[in-house]
Structure 1
Amino acid sequence: MARLPIPKSLKRILVPAWNEGHRLGWLVRDHAGAVLSGRWARCSVCGRVRPMIYRRRVVPEKLAERWGLTPRLAKALARKESSDCAGCGAKLRARRIASVLLETFPIGSPPAPARSLAEWVRSPEAARMRIAEINRIDGIHGALSHLPGFASSDYHPGAPPGAIVEGVRSEDLTRLTYPDASFDLVLTSESLEHVPDLGAALRGIRRVLAPGGLHIFTVPVLPDEPKTFRRAELRPDGSIKHLAASIHHPGGDVGYLVFTEFGADLPEVLKRAGFDLTVHYGPVREDDLTQVYVCRWMGL
């Protein structure tokens, strides 16, 4: 039976309505799943007690297959990349970064951890800090954006480092343009694995940190991967040389290419780069891939 053609004018109405209905359907299901499963918690970013929205679909099956993830690892990665606070939208990895930040930089007299990032940013201690967020961290970005010493940037391919692209500063972790010793804290999340030259990125972060400054970050580490290795490298002509099976983590239209696969030797990699390291929520295990790494640069 032939299908009746749908006029273009009607399509312009029906398609957005269909998409919005589909989105609302997912939203209702996600919230209902969080409520029925008892996934309620106080958010370390906004401070409100809200459902935490787990979305298994954020880790596509093709990625799980290419990365060799067991069903348990795939669920742990999906928790890391979702578990969104229904109040502010902060993912689990962002909320854990916030928790570590609050523990590391107490406020008040006597000093004590703030209950949330929303509370912390109103303190005089936070107002005195110089913080760089390199690549936007959803949830954390909004909370920190009004601090006087906050500098945020994203990576825009093809843009000169330090350029302003559509109102946002563009920075390349391998060629940071900030002055030496200009920050007390650098924040990144799921960024270092996508950098073509990890050594250059770590040296750049070390350079822009003041002595005693911290780099607080997350990266993907699999529990059964013993050694950090390169999956790809950038040739001088800008082309990509694949050294192992290529992996693209979710994001954008086609995802983001992984250049470095981090293994259990990550602490040694960071120590060789000149940092003192503390790992929170560790060690990496099959049911928890959301560790937070704190690197301190003590200076030369």
Structure 2
Amino acid sequence: MGEMAAWPVITADLPLRNLPRAGITYGLLEGSAGHTMKISRRNFSDLSSALSSSFGYCTLCGFHTQFLCYEPDEMPCKRNTFVCRECGSLARNRHVALAVLDAFRDTVPANSLSEFAREFNGAIYVMDVKEAIYRCLKGARNFTSSEYIDNVPGGQWKDGVLCQDVQSMTFPDNSFDLVITEDLLEHVPFPEKAFDELHRVLKPGGYHIGTIPIKWHLEKSAPRAKLVDGQIIHLEEPELHGDPFRPEGILAFTDFGHDMIDVFFNRIGPTTMLSAHEDKFLEQAFGIYNSWAFVSRKSP
């Protein structure tokens, strides 16, 4: 992805009103005649490692571009692939961006997360310092980001990165208008504490928008491991997920099931689950596959 800047880019403007419509748009394609989106054409000579691709509108960078898939067709979950050729966003990143744009469309009628970052005056907190959502929002007027860093106390900095534990954050109450987490909350030993903390740091009327992997065969969420007196007790075979700071991966403590909204997300506030599972419109329009985004709003 690092070579993108050297590729030739041709851009043109297309009025949003000319886009094909479908039944579900989350409001994104409701743009007026004055709103435009960008279309890019690149030299696609280096696609040998991609197994498939699609074209669509990236809800992060605002380009109509190509999404590259590096998973075989038999891989059922493609939420972590279909990489945007422009900004490197994944399918689930674009789903989160779509949810943000919809949540704030009455106050910030943006057509991409990049535009939202330029126009939004509220306080944004992203619990990540690597992925596309972070890169897209970091230029916003009031932006905070953090990472959990082993053996670094919350609120301290290491190598320019703020450390925070979502189970015990150091921010004052009512600090943020928008908090974003992606595939984070399954990795904390005490998820109830994390959801309570997210409620605490949100301003009244603020939103938490996030993703978690869901085990749909489970009626009830269940712990995979517990932390007891500083020791990890495994209840299931250890499950490690990819992590940019930990080459060995990061342990999943919780399998979230059908009860995740009632038991966990509603601790933040009333929650809506946005499904992009086998949704042909979201696949074809935005390259969003097999994703579930959760939008929770703290009571005003």
Q: TM-score range by the shorter chain?
A: 0.7 to 0.9
CA distance in 2: counterparts of 1:48 and 1:283, whole angstroms: 23
1:102 aligns with 2:94: no
Equivalence for 1:247: 239
CA distance in 1: counterparts of 2:232 and 2:144, whole angstroms: 31
Pairs within 5 Å for 1:1-300: 28-31=47-50, 33-34=52-53, 39-56=54-71, 75-77=75-77, 79-106=78-105, 113-123=109-119, 126=120, 128-136=121-129, 138-236=131-229, 238-251=230-243, 252-270=246-264, 273-281=267-275, 289-298=290-299
Post-superposition offset of 1:273: 2.1
Aligned alpha-carbon RMSD (Å): 2.4
Query: Structure 1 152/277 Cα, relative in aligned 2: closer, same or farther at 3 Å?
Result: same
| Equivalences, count | 246
Post-superposition offset of 1:269: 1.2
CA distance in 2: counterparts of 1:254 and 1:152, whole angstroms: 23
CA distance in 2: counterparts of 1:184 and 1:213, whole angstroms: 4
Paired AA for residue 232 in structure 1: A
Query: Structure 1 102/49 Cα, relative in aligned 2: closer, same or farther at 3 Å?
Result: same
Paired AA for residue 29 in structure 1: S
Return the TM-score normalized by structure 1.
0.76
Q: What fraction of aligned residue pairs are identical, expressed as a percent?
A: 30
Preserved contact between residue 30 and residue 53 of structure 1 (Cα < 8 Å): no
Return the TM-score normalized by structure 2.
0.76
Paired AA for residue 268 in structure 1: D
CA distance in 1: counterparts of 2:142 and 2:83, whole angstroms: 27
Paired AA for residue 133 in structure 1: V
Instruction: Pick the structure with greater CA Rg.
Output: 1
SS of equivalent to 2:52: helix
Q: Which has the higher strand share?
A: 2
Q: Which has the higher helix share?
A: 1
Preserved contact between residue 211 and residue 298 of structure 1 (Cα < 8 Å): yes
Query: Structure 1 274/116 Cα, relative in aligned 2: closer, same or farther at 3 Å?
Result: closer
SS of equivalent to 2:215: coil
Query: Structure 1 152/248 Cα, relative in aligned 2: closer, same or farther at 3 Å?
Result: same
CA distance in 1: counterparts of 2:117 and 2:181, whole angstroms: 18
Preserved contact between residue 118 and residue 139 of structure 2 (Cα < 8 Å): no
